[in-house]
Amino acid sequence: MYKWEENIRKVEPYVPGAQPRQKDIIKLNTNENPYPPSQKVIDAIRESDLDTAMRKYPDPTSNELTKAIKEYYGLEDEQVFVGTGSDDVLSIAFLTCFNSDKPIVFPDVTYSFYPVWAKVYGIPYREIPVDDGMRVRVEDYGVGEGKHEPNGGVVIANPNAPTGIALSRKEILEVVEANPDVVVIVDEAYVDYSGESALPLLMDHENLLIVRTFSKSRAMAGARIGFAIGSPRLIGAMNDVAQSINSYTKPTLSLTAAVASIADEEYFRARIDDVLKTRARTVLELKKRGFSVLPSSTNFVFAAPSRIDAGLLYEELGDRKIYVRHFNGEKTKKYLRITIGTDREMDSLFAAIDEIMHTY
């Protein structure tokens, strides 16, 4: 090690799902939407003044999109923070809200970016085990008679990832009410797929921050737009932190695309219904093949094969150009996380599983 390296910050980075660029693959590994974004999104980009969109800096306040989100959800002024994908929003939220020496808390099986942000920002954290059914127990977050150690904040993905299991709005309310002196972040990346949003709770709880993304249900992972909704005080603090790092983070064309997506509600709802139908079928087909499947409120299923090792199945599917996700943790290694694709893509998956199981 060189002397200068002693002053280098060393972190263990988050490992994102692979993004192979070939066309002839079936990509069920990062929960993207199998359907295209609304035609209105494509048209809005095509009709944009590309010279301005490229040559000029984007709007640092994301005013037009902020307004569209406010109107869509019926919010008050100053309740919306827009970021470069919800990973950016969450990262800014961690930096803004978790400035305490007490550990923040989140489940031990959840979005694996949370511990990475905590480490890079020097935020102490404690992981709270999910139960044997991979459920988050709200009692472990101070609800009811549960033992409650002081914490510096709470983060819950609801529905959770990679399990797909959702808490009810009532349970989220209980967690928020049990933790009035810290910020509670609820990451609702998948809530459009049948989860119950915490949005109605915002009215009475200024310490609640809800984080959403355009990457999944709105089929715009490549545009990198996410947002947070919270009290004006909390959103104001996040904007101050964000503007202390980088002013012009959201590309003009992405903002334009996001506004157009919100304007096409009918298309949005129809594609969610498509995914939910295919999800129901996928659960049945996997169960037929001996998988145990956790109850999903998302656009993916977390499923454990019974007759073959999950890691091996993951490899075999990869060899057939079907990409799913396998997390090698103690509690997760029995499972595969499988994104819901089109019906045709899922049929190819089932056929591949049959072929693989036949040889083992």
Which residues of this chain interact with ligand PLP, rule CB under 6 A?
Answer: 31, 85-87, 111, 157, 161, 187, 189, 213, 215, 221, 226
C-beta separation of 237 from 96 below 8 A: yes
Residue 215 CB, nearest distance to ligand PLP (Å)? 3
Q: In angstroms, what is the minimal distance from the CB of 192 to ligand PLP? A: 12
- The CB-of-85 to ligand PLP minimum distance in angstroms stands at 3
Whose Cβ is closer to ligand PLP: residue 66's or residue 352's?
66
Smallest separation (angstroms) from ligand PLP to the CB of 161: 4
Query: In 3-state terms, what secondary structure has residue 216?
Result: coil
Residue 162, both tokens: 């990679």
Q: Which is nearer to ligand PLP, 85 or 152 (CB)?
A: 85
Rounded CA gap, 167 and 138, in Å? Answer: 9
Alpha-carbon span 216 to 214, nearest angstrom: 6
Burial class (CB in 10 A: 0-12, 13-18, 19+), 11: exposed
Give the shortest CB-77-to-ligand PLP separation in angstroms.
Answer: 24
Among residues 199 and 352, whose Cβ is nearest to ligand PLP?
199
Of the pair 88, 171, the CB lying nearest ligand PLP is at 88
| Token pair 């998948």: residue | 190
**E strand residue ranges, the chain:** 26-27, 80-83, 104-107, 125-128, 153-157, 184-187, 208-213, 226-229, 292-293, 300-304, 322-323, 336-339
Neighbours of 290 (CB within 10 A): 13
Tell me phi and psi for residue 210, to 5 degrees.
-105, 130
Distance CA 136, CA 103 (A): 18
- 29 or 31: whose CB is closer to ligand PLP? 31
The nearest distance, CB 191 to ligand PLP, in angstroms, is 10
DSSP string, 227-263: EEE--HHHHHHHHHHHTTT-S--S-HHHHHHHHHHHT
CB 165, min distance to ligand PLP, A: 12
Q: Closer CB to ligand PLP, residue 157 or residue 184?
A: 157
Q: Rounded to an integer, what distance in angstroms lies between the CA atom of residue 16 and that of residue 26?
A: 17
Comparing CB distances to ligand PLP, the nearer of 302 and 352 is 302
Q: Which residue is nearest to ligand PLP (CB)?
A: 85
